Amino acid sequence: MKNILLLCGGGGSEHEVSLRSANYIYDELEKVNLYNVFKVEIKANGDRVDHHGQLCELRKAGELYYPSSDQTHKLDFAIPCIHGPPGENGVIQSIFELMGLPYLGCSPEPSQTCFNKVSTKLWLDALKVPNTPYIYLSDESRESISAAEEFFNANKDVYIKAASQGSSVGCYHVTSLEDLESTILSAFKFSEYVLIERTLKARELEVSAFEYNNEVVITAPGEIICPDGFYDYDQKYSNDSATKTEVNAKGLSAEQINDIKSYSLKAFKGLKLRHLSRIDFFLTEEGKVYLNEINTFPGMTSISMFPKMMENHGVKFSEYLRKIIEEST
């Protein structure tokens, strides 16, 4: 039996979602019946607690140590099931690298690049992957606010986003110049950079991108159908969310599907993503495809789009995990 560390929590704004994803992954790993899974939660106070409530520590050389019993387990593989910092931004990945512990997902560099919405856009531009028109601010100076006002006046309707956040935290829809500056200041409370984008009237499509049998698979696009147009935190996670998801988006042209697939592959290969990502798009009313963002560790609850699109493609999530673990250990 291989020892698998399933690390979750992290104490950030996506802590609770990460626990839900970890429960799903735990059940999928149990199906394989080849692993001892240590599901360890990083609590907000920094404690590490396993699923039996035991305090433990992740130590150098990839070991899990239990101070109460003085026991050590040598780990074979880690799954950083944390959405947002420190799991999706390259920090945990760097620690695994240092320990020589194989792990699921992207290495530190693409994790960090994709978690920052500004660096993602700079890379997408360099790779010639269409994305929404934007500017970014690196401070709250008068000059920055003027640049934002100019961008707003040219577009009249914008999204203001903290650069290093997910789950729509620090993300605001702004339609009046009066609200611009205060909203920028709110976004700066979350991140050191702030992105301002033109609002698109668009459908929200996404694909699962994953490595399987030495190939990068890009699934058929699924769709998020959000009645208010803004897929905010409550729409994403609350039980009474009015948002519907469709594992196979309807009515797309062959060209649109082809654009989505080719931009996804360009991003996956160009940014050197590894194992998995969910790649999100906008499809405008004029039929243009824009890449919105790359999630290197997307939500993985039983109702999440990433595993659903993978299974819809014909790959069982448990079998995908088994293969990655087999190849990595």
Give residues in contact with ligand ADP (CB under 6 A): 132, 159, 161, 166-168, 171, 197-200, 204, 226, 230-231, 280, 292-293
Nearer to ligand ADP, 218 or 226 (CB): 226
Q: How far is CA 159 from the centre of its chain?
A: 19
Catalytic residue among 107, 144, 167, 318: 167
Q: Which of 204, 294, 291 is nearest to 252 (CA)?
A: 204
Structure tokens at 47: 């404690």
Contacts of 226 (CB under 8 A, 6+ apart): 204, 235, 242, 243
Q: How many CB atoms neighbour CB 146 within 10 A? A: 10
Is 176 part of the annotated catalytic residue set? no
Catalytic residue among 14, 28, 88, 223: 14
CB of 171 to ligand ADP, least distance (A): 5
Whether the Cβ atoms of residue 219 and residue 310 lie closer than 8 Å to each other: yes
Nearer to ligand ADP, 159 or 268 (CB): 159
Is 182 part of the annotated catalytic residue set? no
Nearer to ligand ADP, 161 or 308 (CB): 161
Nearer to ligand ADP, 97 or 246 (CB): 246
CB of 131 to ligand ADP, least distance (A): 9
Measured in degrees and rounded to the nearest 5, phi and psi for residue 280 equal -110, 140
Catalytic residue among 13, 18, 304, 318: 304
Structure tokens at 234: 């409550």
14 φψ region: left (φ > 0), alpha (ψ -120 to 50), beta (else): alpha
The strand order across the sheet containing 71-74 reads 57-59, 63-66, 71-74
Is residue 312 classed as helix, strand or coil in its secondary structure? helix
Whether the Cβ atoms of residue 66 and residue 33 lie closer than 8 Å to each other: no
Q: Which residues are annotated as a binding site?
A: 280, 293, 295
Nearer to ligand ADP, 28 or 223 (CB): 223
Q: Which residues are annotated as a binding site for Mg(2+)?
A: 280, 293, 295
CB of 230 to ligand ADP, least distance (A): 5
Nearer to ligand ADP, 204 or 223 (CB): 204
CA distance 138 to 198: 18
Q: How far is CA 105 from the centre of its chain?
A: 11
CB of 179 to ligand ADP, least distance (A): 16
CA distance 104 to 102: 7
Is 167 part of the annotated catalytic residue set? yes
Nearest residue to ligand ADP, by Cβ distance, number only: 231
Is residue 243 classed as helix, strand or coil in its secondary structure? coil
Instruction: Tell me: cis bond preceding 86? Omega within 30 of 0 counts.
Output: yes
CB of 87 to ligand ADP, least distance (A): 14
Q: Which of 213, 278, 307, 297 is nearest to 7 (CA)?
A: 297
Which residue type sits at 300?
M
CB of 124 to ligand ADP, least distance (A): 13
Catalytic residues: 14, 167, 304
